[in-house]
Amino acid sequence: MRETSIALVTGANRGIGYAIAEGLVKHGLTVVLAARDPSAGPAAAARLGARPLVLDVTDPASVRAAAAQVDDWYGRLDVLVNNAGIAGRRDAQTPGAVDLDAVREVFETNLFGVIQVTEAFLPLLRRSGDARIVNVSSGTGSLAWMTDEQHRFAVRRTSAGYPVSKSALNMLTVQYAKALAGERIKVNAIAPGACDTDFARGLGLRLERTAEQGAAAAIELATMADAPTGHFRDDAGTVPW
Ligand code: NAP
């Protein structure tokens, strides 16, 4: 990556997104800390030496305005981290008792939001010459892990929403990686593991990891020389799709 690489992280005012932004600042990147809450972004950005930007991934006008602002500031983007994500109303996602609105809400952020943001920033990424897109997925989106009875995700409560949105995000990662393969834009997904964030508290998981540990694979894929494309990783290596 060039020294003055420009990175944007969505949902970066707290949790894993904040830790990714912090890691990218430490690597010397110029970081745009995107947050939907106009009052939360500036304080978080000031703590890191990042630049705040309002961006709600589900709002087309907000996404368009954010891309125009980054174009105005820098004229390009080198790293896009699609981190913003929600768990949604868990009880409303149980197969057999699904409230479709709850599932739609999860997909609006975790899948359609990623498509919307990626499409809006693609013209700026195309001007990079060595661009990276990192999608923050989840091990719960791994069909291989979910169908392995020995794996701890396989014994979790079932859901027609969140893990399905992350499996779809994984396929989206593969599709963009293939589509952009000839354009020096690398597209990968990461699984942060069960990290102690607002999102994960209350999910009944053993949260053995910090947000910083969850951020590590995203930071590596965003900054490493000769990054792969179309991979799904955690910080131990490849995650099976
Ligand atoms: P978190 O602490 O709840 O943070 C989520 C972030 O996403 C917040 O900044 C939130 O903004 C933002 N966000 C939500 N909806 C948004 C929208 N429409 N537009 C822009 N930003 C939005 O959660 P986290 O644990 O850091 O999760 C980050 C990512 O990691 C998610 O994609 C999640 O699925 C994934 N993940 C987490 C874990 C885990 O164990 N924590 C495990 C696997 C995957 P507000 O502050 O305004 O709500």
Average confidence (pLDDT) per 10 residues, the chain, 241 residues: 84 98 98 97 97 98 98 98 97 97 98 99 97 98 95 84 98 98 97 91 79 98 96 96 98
Which tokens sit at 16? 């894993």
Q: Has residue 125 been placed in a domain?
A: yes
The candidate with the shortest Cα–Cα distance to 46, out of 35, 57, 56, 36, is 35
Name residues whose C-beta falls within 8 Å of residue 131's C-beta, 6 or more positions apart in sequence.
77, 78, 79, 80, 125, 184, 185, 186
How far apart are the C-alpha atoms of 32 and 72, rounded to whole Å? 13
Residue 37 · residue 229 · CB < 8 Å: no
Name residues whose C-beta falls within 8 Å of residue 75's C-beta, 6 or more positions apart in sequence.
124, 127
Q: Has residue 185 been placed in a domain?
A: yes
**Residue 94 buriedness (CB in 10 A; 0-12 / 13-18 / 19+):** middle
Identify the active-site residue in 18, 74, 162, 178: 162
Residue closest via CA to ligand 1's atom 1 equals: 199
Amino acid 157: pLDDT: 82
| 125 Cα: distance to centroid of ligand 1 (angstroms) | 23
Residue 121 · residue 69 · CB < 8 Å: no
Chain mean position to CA 19: 12
Q: Has residue 78 been placed in a domain?
A: yes
Range of the domain at 41: 6-238
Into how many domains does the chain fold? 1
Q: Has residue 128 been placed in a domain?
A: yes
| 85 Cα: distance to centroid of ligand 1 (angstroms) | 4
pTM, rounded to two decimals: 0.97
Q: What is the CATH number of the domain that holds 70?
A: 3.40.50.720
Q: Has residue 1 been placed in a domain?
A: no
Amino acid 22: pLDDT: 98
Which tokens sit at 175? 């599709």
18 is catalytic: no
The candidate with the shortest Cα–Cα distance to 187, out of 138, 123, 232, 146, is 232
Amino acid 2: pLDDT: 53
Which tokens sit at 144? 């291989």
Strand, coil or helix: 89: coil
Residue closest via CA to ligand 1's atom 11 equals: 11
Amino acid 205: pLDDT: 72
Amino acid 167: pLDDT: 98
Residue closest via CA to ligand 1's atom 44 equals: 138
Amino acid 184: pLDDT: 94
Amino acid 156: pLDDT: 73
166 is catalytic: yes
How far apart are the C-alpha atoms of 1 and 130, rounded to whole Å? 7
Residues with CB under 6 A from ligand 1: 10-11, 13-17, 35-37, 40, 55-58, 83-86, 109, 113, 136, 138, 192, 194-195, 197-200
